[in-house]
Structure 1
């Protein structure tokens, strides 16, 4: 079957009913969203007609719920639906309006901060996450529903995790690794209640430590990353390991990593248990996202091994992709700018 693609410019002409005002108005999806750290235009990605239709239907549903009841949660979902269309400017606008109505909403701060990262506005993101952290309840895990559910339809993240995860990320992207480190450590200790969250946090903390030349601490962090074979060989010792990957094989909990396989592969590569070239292979349906994530890991590996020329080559490859909102893509921009 022939696929029909709608370009960013064509999307600009797509009219969707606005959800920020109950009056009859129209919403125009802007192709241009901002500039990358390297000065390139960030434009709405190409999508198939079917993808646009599905995203538009979800937006219209969120609009209807918001109009019926402009609650904190319906405001959050409205902003999230704009973000899924890659209109991060509009999403930020919705979250900002929501914060006027709900000034103590750590959830609104969390989501707005995320989209400030998407648009490379790191200082604004950090300010939002500082506020979200101040306001959020500590020591609890509030499940955050998924806007794009995974295959098992199991929400994996929690609000507390997302506040700290993106807070640390914003500092990392600014090159403020000493500030990112304690944030990731707190996250790892208190808010990673499944394997997906654990591998994602461990990966960013590992990179943060390596950027500070804390090689021994980084290597120690990798001792918690085990392959299934290693787990079965050392089953008697695993009860003493707090957060080891595949620990659930012994204890009887969920065994698979559902979403963050790319982070797991990066960690195995850093540990020397997965060949570097394997990270350019992916079975993920979102190939562009996986290559941005895994490709950035390969560039890091070359940086850690002193091969700056090869690292820049891989970073260039990552930046030739289309997933400009992916964290690996943004991190590749930040590193490339520092290496210029």
Structure 2
């Protein structure tokens, strides 16, 4: 299971989602409303969203370790990560808050809390926490990536672009660079800065390759560049059955990106069709799901 804190590892920017997707393989999910799942939030579209059952006891294991050293902030953040791995984001935010009571200048605690606040659609709270994390640790890529997301979902696209540019500048490898460039491009296009957007994705040159979890972000970039057809870039729509939720992560990411491309190119009908396909899914923590949900809510007057 990938640790999203490994800033020098590959695919930094999607690792948090992968962590949670991996935990989902514990069970066969439908709407995750079993007795062991917990209600988390009501979406802007009115859908109740739930955590996963913690069938492997990852939270209890982390809490047991913390109980032996209750003032260890690193162990508190380990509990928060365990909670987030089964989509208990409200609980993870509370754990991070407790950590900050003990260590008020802990950049990792602000980052973790901000990350989870984005998932909870508490974008302004996330922005404030992530800005504080950036002040405390200005060289942490993950801070700027999630700060960019908070601004983006607030429709503050120029501010989002500034944050994603910092993430690109700090990227230690192609995977991180590709992931951040995708969101940088989207932010610049939504801000009406078309020439800068084209310049940003031109830096992902044809010789750059990747594999694994970042490959679908690269497909999106190639689509934006006109180097890949839409039908080749968009993964097959998942069946939304069974225990493997990773196909939904991939589909949500690319389908939102392509839908967004239609939106800023003046084709809202095609955009809404893509967004609607995304929110049929189960993985409400993906950025593609959150973005699709927000656009549909705005289009219906709820956002």
| CA–CA distance in structure 2, aligned partners of residues 4 and 125 of structure 1 | 30
Q: What's 1:178 paired with?
A: 158
| Structure 2 segments unaligned to the other structure (5+ residues) | 1-25, 239-243
Q: What's 1:130 paired with?
A: 131
| CA–CA distance in structure 2, aligned partners of residues 258 and 332 of structure 1 | 24
Q: What's 1:262 paired with?
A: 216
Map 1:159-198 to 2 at 5 A. Answer: 160-189=140-169, 191-198=170-177
| CA–CA distance in structure 1, aligned partners of residues 114 and 47 of structure 2 | 22
| CA–CA distance in structure 1, aligned partners of residues 159 and 179 of structure 2 | 18
| CA–CA distance in structure 2, aligned partners of residues 325 and 33 of structure 1 | 11
Q: Of the two structures, which has the highest relative contact order with CA contacts closer than 8 Å and spacing of 6 or more?
A: 2
Deviations 1:87-109 (A, max 9, x none): 11111111111111111111011
Q: What's 1:67 paired with?
A: 67
| CA–CA distance in structure 1, aligned partners of residues 279 and 270 of structure 2 | 14
Q: What is the Cα-based RMSD across aligned positions, in Å?
A: 2.1
Q: Tell me the secondary structure at the aligned position of residue 146 of structure 2.
A: helix
Deviations 1:163-193 (A, max 9, x none): 110011100001001211211122212x200
Say which is worse superposed, 277-286 or 169-178, in terms of deviation: 277-286
| CA–CA distance in structure 2, aligned partners of residues 223 and 131 of structure 1 | 32
| CA–CA distance in structure 2, aligned partners of residues 6 and 120 of structure 1 | 22
Q: Tell me the secondary structure at the aligned position of residue 37 of structure 1.
A: coil
Is contact 2:278–2:292 with CA below 8 Å preserved after alignment? yes
Segments ≥4 residues shifted beyond 6 Å? none
Deviations 1:107-147 (A, max 9, x none): 011001111111101111111111111111x34xxxxxxxx
Q: What's 2:55 paired with?
A: 53
Q: What's 1:291 paired with?
A: 251
Is the alpha carbon distance of 1:60 and 1:281 closer, same or farther for their aligned partners in structure 2, counting shifts above 3 Å?
Answer: same
Alignment match of 1:9 (pick from 25, 33, 38): 33
For normalisation by structure 2, the TM-score amounts to 0.82
The alpha-carbon deviation at position 258 of structure 1 amounts to 3.9
| Structure 1 segments unaligned to the other structure (5+ residues) | 15-28, 140-159, 232-244, 247-255
Q: What's 1:201 paired with?
A: 180
Deviations 1:235-271 (A, max 9, x none): xxxxxxxxxx24xxxxxxxxx3442212111100111
Q: What's 1:239 paired with?
A: none
The alpha-carbon deviation at position 6 of structure 1 amounts to 6.3
Q: What's 1:321 paired with?
A: 281
Q: Tell me the secondary structure at the aligned position of residue 171 of structure 2.
A: coil
Q: Tell me the secondary structure at the aligned position of residue 270 of structure 1.
A: helix
For normalisation by structure 1, the TM-score amounts to 0.74
Structure 2 residue 213 is matched with structure 1 residue 211 = no
| CA–CA distance in structure 1, aligned partners of residues 173 and 27 of structure 2 | 39
The alpha-carbon deviation at position 226 of structure 1 amounts to 2.6
Is contact 1:35–1:119 with CA below 8 Å preserved after alignment? no
Is contact 1:279–1:295 with CA below 8 Å preserved after alignment? no
Is the alpha carbon distance of 1:86 and 1:124 closer, same or farther for their aligned partners in structure 2, counting shifts above 3 Å?
Answer: same
Structure 1 or 2, whichever has the larger Rg, is 1
| CA–CA distance in structure 1, aligned partners of residues 254 and 277 of structure 2 | 11
Q: What's 2:204 paired with?
A: 225
